[in-house]
Amino acid sequence: MGCPTRLFQAGSRQSLVQALVAVVAAGASYAWAMTLTPAPVSRQTSAPEAMLVRALLDIRDSKFSSALDHIDSLLVANPNFRLAQLVKGDLLLARARPINSIGNASGGSAEQVAGLRDEARARLVRSQIDPQPELAPRYLLQLPEKEKLALVLDSTKSTLFVFENTGKTPRYVADYYVTIGKNGLEKLREGDKKTPIGVYHVVSRLPKDKLTDFYGSGAYPISYPNEWDQVRGRDGHGIWLHGTPRDTYSRPPRASDGCIVLTNQDLEALAEKLQIGSTPIVIADSMDWAKPEEVESLRTELASSIENWRHDWESRNSDAYLRHYARKFTSNGLNLAQWSAQKHQVNAGKSWIKVRVTDMSLLLYPGKEEIAVATFEQDYSSSNLSNRMMKRQYWIRENNKWRIVFEGAA
Amino acid sequence: MSRIPLLALGAALLLVWQMQAGFAANSYEDASRLLKRGNYSAALETIETLLSANPRDARARFLKGLILTEQNKPADAIKVFTTLTEDYPELPEPYNNLAVLYASQGQYDKARKSLEMAIRTHPSSAIAHENLGDVYAKMASQAYDKALQLDRGNAAAQTKLAMIKDLFSGSVVPGKGSPDTDGPGIAATAQGIAGNPATTAAKPAAQSAKADTDAVLAAVNGWAKAWSSKNADAYLAYYAPGFQVPGGEARANWEATRRDRIVKPKLIEVTIGSPKVSFDADGRAVVKFRQGYKSDTLNTSGAKILTLVKNNDRWQIVQEKMS
């Protein structure tokens, strides 16, 4: 009896392994997997993603059948997980003939395949995220009691972190894979297909039935451009958190026009906890983990600067009060000189001033300059005027002193 | 008194049984020939008649599956092959053909599972391996289309997997290509066991060598078939009166041993791979081939040489040895 040496014969199974080892070596995506260790146990991520990562790690370990099993079972529940379909294609094709790259599809654009490869890499990078309970997110210096959670977007890890406000160090709750703008971070202009970098909050909710299928299970516009963006002349609008179309489980890491796109499942889970008009979102290049004592010392520094500002305002010593303002300060069209003149005039007409500051939110602004955003309720009363308002101040470190660079109603 | 009628009855019964067996064999060949000629309804009728007498006959049921496939009745053919896999889970061919039918309907996952079963039962089945490769490639292409949101319409028809045309086909590769243009080994097998040496006698002299080769191969195939179908009488009839019994054993003893070995296993599958026929100076045919032997207890293969002589237009074995 002739003994055809086909697939799965001892010799050619070896070549199958070699083919995928070549894939692992050649394809940037699979190569990433070579250096990975299994994800930590405390992570809260979506089940389909966890299955996909397990499959990719199986490929690294030459466990192709197990990889295909994981892919098949995740596709049962999520048939529109395109990256999973691509990996499935590779695993099947490797059984039919040797392959030497990831994504061997004929047809489709090179851009599409590249997008899915990027997603594979992003998902693997995400599998390495390991939130340390003993570390704190530096951006979240202080949250007011009413704020239930805060979001931090780490663009290099394509990840949106969710933190719960505990009154002390924010506690990690979950993290989600996200898509950002095609051209990356730091939006400057309308239509530049970038996602802004900065401190924002969720301003409203657009329900599913008011939107086309493109936005999936809902949309949550954020406050871009914020006061600091406007001061710097940045424009554009319509930066939303939103879901994916019905036929798409997830999109590549850089694919939107600037919006932050989550899977519908993840968006729905997040939406339950969002506080419209308040939940803060810090969008950064990368997450900044720090020791809680460092975060606390920065928080204390800023809080005492704000307290000194409040105290000097109450003292009606305009010079002392105005020393808290930065040289390039602006507020609603006033520069520092105009603002100073106005304050001198107003304070002179008062016999007393009382200022109470409550519900303080203190967030560090991502970027090169050291800036913090303070948002609080200001309860102002004086001999001739009383007023209660939400105020927002942008503090900048200038000559090693925190000074206000913008101030206005929140 | 009573012994003679009993013996006579026994002899009569044996005769009837032999006639039936002969009849069955003939109708199988008839159906097979009708199928090859494209006369599907006649082929189906013939095989149904055979099956009404022997409903469990695996080869007949297999052929029925092939006929139904040719008649473009995939649902019926699937039923036939499915019950064959249930009744004979150790045979790879029904799994393979089941897979081909599933694949033709775009049911690649079922096709894949069937082919994996075929390979599990028969790891060296070349056709099943090739088909499985095609199914994997097709499934990969489907997955890629989903990954890239391509709608290529009904691409199912693009895949053409190979049916196995003969139960107990072993390692030979029928089904792909025309038997007439293939090598002699394949041609002989594709013509199956149906070849009748008697019909070759009338052919012109120029073709007599080819006719002799065909007749020899037909005999070898017939021998393998008789062995496979555990028909000891038919099997032993392929040995010439002058057969050199191995080890100089008495012919009767040798025959008894052979009978025992043929009857005992539940299932035997003998295959002829790449047969090469030559003729020696005495006009004897020497056939070298790979013999595959598989039973419920044993699975071997090896090179074999059969030497045959022509007795009254019938090629018979005079020598048998493993090389």
Q: Are residues B45 and B81 in the same domain?
A: yes
Predicted confidence at residue A99, as pLDDT, reads 76
Answer whether A4 touches B (CB < 8 Å): yes
The answer to whether A97 contacts B137, with C-beta atoms less than 8 Å apart, is yes
Domain endpoint, select from B129, B164, B183: B183
Alpha-carbon distance B300 to nearest alpha carbon in chain A (angstroms): 8
Q: Which residues contact A1 (CB under 8 A, 6 or more apart)?
A: B124, B170, B171, B271, B273, B290, B291, B292, B301
Task: Determine the Cα–Cα distance for residues B31 and A71; give it in Å rounded to an integer.
Answer: 46
Nearest by CB to B132, from A7, A90, A104: name it: A7
Between A235 and B212, the more confident residue is: A235
Task: Determine the Cα–Cα distance for residues A82 and A249; give it in Å rounded to an integer.
Answer: 7
Beta strands at A401-409 and B268-279: parallel, antiparallel or unpaired: unpaired
Strand order in the sheet with A260-261: A219-221, A240-242, A260-261
Predicted confidence at residue A61, as pLDDT, reads 84
Nearest by CB to B136, from A92, A108, A109: name it: A92
Predicted confidence at residue B259, as pLDDT, reads 87
How many beta-carbon pairs below 8 A join chains A and B?
A: 106
Q: How large is the ipTM?
A: 0.73
Q: Are residues B215 and B123 in the same domain?
A: no
* Nearest one of A196, A200, A198, A203 to A219, comparing CA atoms: A203
Among A7, A8, A92, the residue to mutate for chain B (most B Cβ within 10 A): A92
Predicted confidence at residue A233, as pLDDT, reads 94
Residue B21 resides in a domain:
yes
Nearest by CB to A82, from B140, B141, B146: name it: B146
The answer to whether A7 contacts B291, with C-beta atoms less than 8 Å apart, is no
Residue in A closest to B293 by C-alpha: A1
Residue B24 resides in a domain:
yes
Q: Are residues B58 and B163 in the same domain?
A: yes
Domain endpoint, select from B166, B183, B200: B183
Element (H, E) at A69: helix A64-77
pTM greater than 0.80 (yes/no) = no
Nearest by CB to B129, from A1, A6, A113: name it: A6
pLDDT at A27 over 50: no
Residue pair B261/B277 in contact (Cβ under 8 Å)? The answer is: no
Predicted confidence at residue A234, as pLDDT, reads 95
Instruction: Kindly state the tokens that stand for A110.
Output: 């090179």
The answer to whether B145 contacts A105, with C-beta atoms less than 8 Å apart, is yes
Alpha-carbon distance B230 to nearest alpha carbon in chain A (angstroms): 19
Residue A237 identity: H
Q: Are residues B299 and B208 in the same domain?
A: yes
Residue pair B189/B174 in contact (Cβ under 8 Å)? The answer is: yes
* Nearest one of B292, B162, B118, B186 to A8, comparing CA atoms: B118
Task: Determine the Cα–Cα distance for residues A182 and A159; give it in Å rounded to an integer.
Answer: 16
Residue pair A62/A20 in contact (Cβ under 8 Å)? The answer is: yes
* Nearest one of B263, B193, B188, B255 to B222, comparing CA atoms: B193
Alpha-carbon distance A244 to nearest alpha carbon in chain B (angstroms): 14
Residue B313 resides in a domain:
yes
Count CA atoms within 13 Å of residue B281 on its CB side: 0
Predicted confidence at residue B287, as pLDDT, reads 92
Residue pair A75/A241 in contact (Cβ under 8 Å)? The answer is: no
pLDDT at A355 over 80: yes
Residue B303 resides in a domain:
yes
- List the domain range (segments joined by +) for residue B245: 189-322
Chain B positions touching A112 (Cβ under 8 A) are: 148-149
Q: Where does the pLDDT of residue A205 fall: very low under 50, low under 70, confident under 90, or very high at 90 and above?
A: very high
- For A201-252, the DSSP string reads EB---B-GGGS-GGGTT-EEEB--S-HHHHHTT------EEE---TT-S---
pLDDT at A35 over 60: no
pLDDT at A88 over 80: yes
Domain count, chain B: 2
Is the link from the previous residue into A225 a cis peptide, with omega within 30 of 0? yes
pLDDT per position as a tens digit, A241-289: 999 999 999 999 999 999 999 999 999 999 999 999 999 999 999 999 9
Instruction: Kindly state the tokens that stand for A22.
Output: 């070549």
Nearest by CB to A112, from B134, B148, B292: name it: B148
Q: Where does the pLDDT of residue A102 fall: very low under 50, low under 70, confident under 90, or very high at 90 and above?
A: confident
Q: Are residues B26 and B164 in the same domain?
A: yes
Q: Are residues B28 and B160 in the same domain?
A: yes
Task: Determine the Cα–Cα distance for residues B85 and B58; give it in Å rounded to an integer.
Answer: 10
Residue in B closest to A6 by C-alpha: B129
Residue B7 resides in a domain:
no
Count CA atoms within 13 Å of residue B262 on its CB side: 21
Residue B8 resides in a domain:
no
Task: Determine the Cα–Cα distance for residues B242 and B318; give it in Å rounded to an integer.
Answer: 6
Answer whether B140 touches A (CB < 8 Å): yes
Strand order in the sheet with A371-382: A140-142, A353-365, A371-382, A386-398, A401-409, A325-331, A334-335
Question: Stretch A146-156: mean pLDDT, rounded?
Answer: 97
Predicted confidence at residue B159, as pLDDT, reads 59
Q: Chain A, 88-117: which have a CB under 8 Å from a chain B CB?
A: 88-93, 95-97, 103-109, 112-113, 116
Predicted confidence at residue B186, as pLDDT, reads 25
CATH code for the domain of B269:
3.10.450.50
Residue B222 resides in a domain:
yes
Answer whether B143 touches A (CB < 8 Å): yes
Q: What are phi and psi of B5, to 5 degrees?
A: -55, -35
Answer whether B137 touches A (CB < 8 Å): yes
In DSSP terms, A331 is beta-bridged to: A334
Nearest by CB to B301, from A1, A104, A113: name it: A1
Q: Are residues B165 and B218 in the same domain?
A: no
Q: Which residues contact B145 (CB under 8 A, 6 or more apart)?
A: A105, A107, B151, B152
Going from the C-alpha of B7 to that of each of A148, B13, B15, B17, B20, the distances in angstroms are 100, 10, 12, 15, 20
Chain A positions touching B130 (Cβ under 8 A) are: 6
Task: Determine the Cα–Cα distance for residues B226 and B222; give it in Å rounded to an integer.
Answer: 6
Integer-rounded Cα Rg, in Å, for chain B is 22
The answer to whether B170 contacts A1, with C-beta atoms less than 8 Å apart, is yes
Q: Where does the pLDDT of residue A159 fall: very low under 50, low under 70, confident under 90, or very high at 90 and above?
A: very high
Going from the C-alpha of B115 to that of each of A88, A95, A225, A397, the distances in angstroms are 19, 13, 60, 70
Beta strands at A198-201 and A280-284: parallel, antiparallel or unpaired: antiparallel
User: Domains in chain A, ordered, with CATH?
Assistant: 10-127 (no CATH), 136-289 (2.40.440.10), 292-409 (3.10.450.50)
pLDDT at A57 over 50: yes
C-beta atoms surrounding B52 within 10 Å: 8
pLDDT at A328 over 60: yes
Length of chain A: 410
Residue pair A234/A188 in contact (Cβ under 8 Å)? The answer is: yes
Nearest by CB to A85, from B119, B143, B273: name it: B143
Task: Determine the Cα–Cα distance for residues A405 and A336; give it in Å rounded to an integer.
Answer: 9
Residue pair B117/B111 in contact (Cβ under 8 Å)? The answer is: no
Answer whether B74 touches A (CB < 8 Å): no
Query: What is the b/e burial string over B265-275, where b = at least 16 CB atoms within 10 angstroms of the residue's CB?
Result: eeebbbbbbbb
Residue pair A177/A159 in contact (Cβ under 8 Å)? The answer is: yes
Residue B205 identity: A
Question: Stretch A104-119: mean pLDDT, rounded?
Answer: 85
pLDDT per position as a tens digit, A185-199: 999 999 999 999 999
Q: Are residues B125 and B210 in the same domain?
A: no
The single residue listed with the structure tokens 């309907």 is: B105
Domain endpoint, select from B158, B183, B208: B183
Question: Stretch A313-342: mean pLDDT, rounded?
Answer: 93
Q: Are residues B73 and B135 in the same domain?
A: yes
Extract the residue ranges of chain B whose pLDDT is less than 70.
Answer: 1-25, 151-160, 168-208, 323
pLDDT per position as a tens digit, A362-374: 999 999 899 999 9
Q: Are residues B29 and B71 in the same domain?
A: yes
Q: Are residues B150 and B60 in the same domain?
A: yes
Q: Is A204 left (phi over 0), alpha (psi -120 to 50) or beta?
A: beta
Residue pair A194/A188 in contact (Cβ under 8 Å)? The answer is: yes
Alpha-carbon distance B323 to nearest alpha carbon in chain A (angstroms): 14
Answer whether A11 touches B (CB < 8 Å): no
Q: Are residues B158 and B245 in the same domain?
A: no
Task: Determine the Cα–Cα distance for residues A88 and A70; give it in Å rounded to an integer.
Answer: 10
Chain centre to alpha carbon of residue A327: 31
Answer whether A197 touches B (CB < 8 Å): no
Provide the total of helices (H) and of strands (E) in chain B, helices listed first.
11, 4
Instruction: Kindly state the tokens that stand for B123.
Output: 């790891």
Element (H, E) at B18: helix B3-37
Answer whether B271 touches A (CB < 8 Å): yes
Residues B57, B62, B66: CA angle, nearest 5 degrees: 150
The answer to whether B148 contacts A83, with C-beta atoms less than 8 Å apart, is no
Nearest by CB to A89, from B123, B129, B144: name it: B144
CATH code for the domain of B86:
1.25.40.10
Residue B281 resides in a domain:
yes
Instruction: Kindly state the tokens that stand for B301.
Output: 């293969």
